[in-house]
Amino acid sequence: MVLNSLDKMIQLQKNTANIRNICVLAHVDHGKTTLADCLISSNGIISSRLAGKLRYMDSREDEQVRGITMKSSAISLHYAEGNKEYLINLIDSPGHVDFSSEVSTAVRICDGCIIVVDAVEGVCPQTQAVLRQAWLENIRPVLVINKIDRLIVELKFTPQEAYCHLKNILEQINALTGTLFTSKVLEERAEREAESQVNPNSEQGEQVYDWSTGLEDTDDSHLYFSPDQGNVVFTSAIDGWGFGIEHFAKIYSQKTGIRKEVLLKTLWGDYYINMKAKKIMKVDQAKGKKPLFVQLILENIWSLYDALLKKDKEKTDKIVTSLGLKIGAREARHSDPRVQINAICSQWLPISQAVLAMVCQKLPSPLDITAERVEKLMCAGSQTFDSLPPETQALKAAFMKCGSEDTAPVIIFVSKMFAVDAKALPQNKPRPLTQEEIAERRERARRRHAEKLAAAQGQAPMEPTQDAGALEMSSQGEEPKDDEQEVESETPKPVPPEGSEQESFIAFARVFSGVARRGKRIFVLGPKYSPLEFLQQIQISVSEPIIPFRETITKPPKVDMVNEEIGKQQKVAVIHQTKEDQSKIPEGIQVDSDGLITMTTPNKLATLSVRALPLPEEVTQILEESSDLIRSMEQLTSSLNEGKNNSQMIHQKTQEKIWEFKGKLEHHLTGRKWRNTVDQIWSFGPRKCGPNILVNKSEDFQNSVWTGFNGKASKEASRYRDLGNSIVSGFQLATLSGPMCEEPLMGVCFVLEKWDLSKFEEQTASNKQSQEPGDLAKEGQGEGDTRSCGDEQQELQDHGSEPFEKRASQRGESPLTDCYGPFSGQLIATMKEACRYALQVKPQRLMAAMYTCDIMATSDVLAHSVTFLYKIIPSDPFWVPTTEEEYLHFGEKADSENQARKYMNAVRKRKGLYVEEKIVEHAEKQRTLSKNK
């Protein structure tokens, strides 16, 4: 029903027994604002077609952009049920955990709340948080299980499966409520026990009690959610329908002749109906039958959705006729079945009627506020009600009465307040001027100009006009209203201006008693939660600093841990230990004596051989310093792959920097081991700009990061581009998280020695030859359209029975690609694992972040410079004694602490990774003495 006048609102506010102050609480994206839209549309404020799309309560621009509620907002709704009319003050609160303060603000000034739960996601963390918040503030909740349509459309549940799923959700919520109730009872019992211990007169027998006594004596049946109690409603806010079992109990009571009270108790639960005898039986009397909730309610809704989604017009017309509904011509012609679902269900099961009826029947009015909650609202912090002044204690009766007479004391509970600039208030924001206001301003400007001319000519000033009076009247605004509404809303409270700056307090408040009028004097009690007291109670704890690490490899050591040179015998022991480490590598992976890893993809179509080498420190430093330049090179290379002309895009200075960077690498990477390495660099990593390099020494495929800048692109690079990108991606993943503690790699060179794709080419050629020439041409054309490499399309020619490789060379080497399909994924995974195993067969080390400070002092200036760099921790985190000297010095167990291993395990614990460590040491087995028989 629509509120047509302000007098009607004032009349409803005076009838305190028919006022409901409620808030909507839920996890994020469970449908609070959509539900609020449906309730608002019932009052004619917005169209029912826009409900769920407009998000009327999200009035802020950032809320509309992000699609989430960030600030609580309030609105008053009118609901009529029979001869009774209700005023429902509704607050829509955020569901995101970052805005939980808005939830606590809304809960404190409400008498009840609606808990919204997604029928698919069930109870989520924020659902538990808001239910606990409502419990702590002692307000009564009701439950709305929303998005029932998702069980039909998305999960494809049958009515029986949906019923079992809804039962599980109710059990989860009731279990949480039971936990809150149990903790409260046990706390009260503990307080009584503490008081009895303080009292010396109590007998010893009175101090001993059973913890379960309080739980047995306390009635908690009214706390739980159950449809037969009327505090649960099933809805689909996006489709505009909802129902409680009372609605169907009334319908089937008229059809079957069974009393409504009986149906209310049996429509939910394991009860079944015998239509012939018109009796309701329990599960043991009618096994294999459907429960009443499934048979009488859910199956009807499922059949309606099935008819509309399948566009079965005959069945739809039959259902609409049997329900006595009418569908508009516009909805009937609409192609979207959800529009027709909304049009039918919103008439058959209006969501606003189901939810608002439950709110009015099950949630309390302001008159039902408990004395315990009133005392809690009036006391601040640890203060007790008895310690308050007598005149303050006398206000408790006014709190409980909630009177709106002029003689009643004005009591306003402010749950949140903050200062804003007066210009930010809605009434002070600039608005378009009317024609009368524009004409009035012109007249004022003309008069002021005439006064200035008169003053300049030495004439007497003109008589004062009525402008000042008009301005004074306009600044006062509208006349104050006779009665302010008793509603949680954002109420501006002006503060006297100081100087030229004006500020106003915006408060989220509730009027408990009396009538608040503008200009009335207000006595303010102290805040319930003082920020200073709260900050004094906070214990500041500083966490340990998190030191960034990097992983790398080094050359094999020449001396052992006791600085003794490793001889031939010791080298044999070291090799034996290395073989033991290599035995941990899974089967199917070949490891050479020099650390070359050979792996085959799971489908056996490609073989990769990878080796890991440590880079010189100078090269690692150059790569770190040139990260921006490497990133620019990557962007230019990607633009070349897209078919753009790079020669015109690259600036001359950029080209000079690139060749200078290449020259530095060639200067430091010398010797037989690094011959032609710089020209064969394929990629940098991680993130394609890090201090690690991938070198391609495969004879079948040649590609380099310098190819695009030379203006030469090999045919192999174009042909193997997609598969080559998969290899590079595997290298990027391997360098992003190392095998020791998943930290990025640093100073490692991965060499791709071999890349065998002969089996993949044979399979591709056999697939091509098995097709007809015409189909081959069509497929080649289709592949050219869908390729992501950016190659120019080339027409296929019919060469009869010539080999595939020869035909491919004649038509420009068509790329070998599966368009990033399963084979590309296998290449990525195989390359990543090959790089990790290549690292594990080498001596691994951790690099810790270090800060060095250079102090430069002269006679005039004292300066310092701080440098950030990584230093290698020399100890091996996986070290075990191998030489005779190490056995003599450290013993077999090497009990002395390994600092590098300690760092590695600390990082793995912080990341939640598995840590291999001894939990119990030097334990003795318990000996059990058995009796002699």
Q: What is the DSSP letter of 744?
A: P
Nearest Cα residue to 900 out of 868, 870, 878, 871: 878
Q: What pLDDT, on the 0 to 100 scale, is given for residue 102? A: 87
Residue 648: HSE in the Cβ half-sphere, 13 Å Cα cutoff: 3
| Mean pLDDT of all residues in 840-852 | 77
CA of residue 643 relative to chain centroid, distance: 39
Architecture of domain 585-759+820-841: 2-Layer Sandwich (3.30)
Which of the residue ranges 238-252, 364-378, 452-466 would you say has the lowest mean pLDDT?
452-466
CA 170 vs CA 167, 225, 226, 617: distances in Å: 5, 7, 8, 63
Query: Over the stretch 639-663, which tens digit does the pLDDT of each residue have?
Result: 776 665 555 556 778 888 888 998 9
Tokens coding 756: 């065998």
For residue 46, pLDDT beyond 50 = yes
| pLDDT per position as a tens digit, 485-511 | 333 333 333 444 444 457 777 777 888
- Residue 602: pLDDT band with limits 50, 70, 90: confident
- How high is the pLDDT of residue 203? 47
Min mean pLDDT across 93-102, 447-456, 724-733, 812-821 is at 812-821
Q: Are 124 and 146 in contact (CB under 8 A)?
A: no
DSSP for residue 400: H
**896 vs 495: CA distance, rounded Å:** 70
Residue 468 pLDDT exceeds 50: no
Question: At 691, is the pLDDT very low, low, confident or very high (cuts 50, 70, 90)?
Answer: very high
User: pLDDT tens digits, residue range 381-429?
Assistant: 667 888 888 888 888 888 888 888 888 888 888 888 777 788 777 777 7
Please check whether residue 128 is in contact with residue 141, taking contact to mean a CB–CB distance below 8 angstroms: no
Summarize the confidence of residues 460-487 as an average pLDDT.
35
3-state secondary structure of 694: strand
pLDDT of 891 above 70: no
**Over pLDDT 70: what percentage of the chain?**
71
Within its chain, how far is the Cα of 176 from the centroid? 23
- Rounded Cα–Cα distance for residues 770 and 772 (Å): 7
Closest-CA residue to 338 (of 460, 240, 219): 240
pLDDT of 361 over the 60 cut: yes
Closest CA to 258 of 282, 278, 286: 278
Tell me how far the alpha carbon of residue 62 is from its chain's centroid.
Answer: 17
CA distances from 122 to 95, 127, 173, 242, 505 (A): 14, 9, 9, 18, 39
- Is residue 726's pLDDT more than 70? yes
User: Could you tell me the residue ranges of all domains in the chain?
Assistant: 6-193+223-368, 369-430+502-542, 585-759+820-841, 845-911
Please tell me the predicted confidence (pLDDT) of residue 497.
41
Give the residue from 125, 104, 124, 101 showing the smallest Cα distance to 113: 104
47-70: pLDDT as tens digits: 888 887 888 888 888 888 888 888
657 vs 355, higher pLDDT: 355
Tokens of 452: 């200035």
Q: What is the pLDDT of residue 920?
A: 62
CA–CA separation, 243 vs 245, rounded Å?
7
Domain range 6-193+223-368, CATH class: alpha beta
Higher pLDDT, 762 or 163: 163
Residue 703's pLDDT band, with cuts at 50, 70 and 90, is confident
Angle formed at CA 778 by CA 772 and CA 783, multiple of 5 degrees: 120
**Three-state SS for 190?**
helix
Lowest-confidence region among 203-217, 276-290, 311-325, 343-357: 203-217
Taking the C-alpha atoms of residue 749 and residue 842, their distance in angstroms, rounded to an integer, is 12
Task: Supply the pTM of this predicted model.
Answer: 0.54
Q: Which amino acid is at 835?
A: C
List all residues 6 or more positions away from 654 whose beta carbon is below 8 Å from its beta carbon: 632
Say what the pLDDT of residue 650 is: 67
Record the tokens describing residue 884, joined without a space. 């005779």
- The identity of residue 842, as a single letter, is K
Confidence of residue 561 (pLDDT cuts 50, 70, 90): low
- Identity of the highest mean pLDDT range in 272-281, 324-333, 360-369, 695-704: 360-369
Given a cut of 80, whether residue 236 has pLDDT beyond it is yes
List, as one string, the DSSP characters of 536-597.
Answer: HHPPP-PPPP---EEEEE-PPPSB-TTS-B--HHHHHHHHHHHHHHHTTSPTT-EE-TT--E
pLDDT at 564 over 80: no
Instruction: For 133-146, give one letter per residue: b (16+ CB within 10 A) or e.
Output: bbbebebbbbbbbb
Q: Is 847 helix (H, G, I), strand (E, B) or coil?
A: strand
Using pLDDT thresholds of 50, 70 and 90, give the confidence band for residue 842.
confident
pLDDT of 166 over the 90 cut:
yes
Q: Longest Cα pair distance anywhere in the chain, in angstroms?
A: 134
- pLDDT, one tens digit per residue, over 769-817 is 776 555 544 444 444 443 433 343 333 334 433 433 333 444 445 555 5
Is pLDDT at 467 greater than 60 in this prediction?
no
Highest-pLDDT range among 147-161, 478-492, 749-763, 885-899: 147-161
pLDDT of 212 above 90: no
Question: Confidence band (pLDDT; 50, 70, 90) for 221?
Answer: low
CA angle (894, 896, 900) in 5-degree steps: 100
Rounded to an integer, the average pLDDT of 525-550 is 65
| Euclidean distance between CA atoms 111 and 377, whole angstroms | 13
What residues contact residue 775 under an 8 Å CB cut-off, 6+ apart? none
- How far apart are the C-alpha atoms of 363 and 382, rounded to whole Å? 30
Can you give the pLDDT at residue 694? 93
Q: Looking at residue 787, what is its pLDDT?
A: 41
Which range has highest mean pLDDT (269-278, 302-311, 368-377)? Answer: 302-311
In the chain, what is the straight-line distance between the N-terminal and C-terminal CA atoms, in Å? 89
Q: What is the DSSP string of 128-160?
A: HHHHHHHHHTT-EEEEEEE-THHHHHTS---HH
- DSSP assignment of 865-879 equals EEEEEEEE--S-TT-
Rounded-to-integer distance, Cα 778 and Cα 797, Å:
11
- pLDDT of 17 over the 70 cut: yes
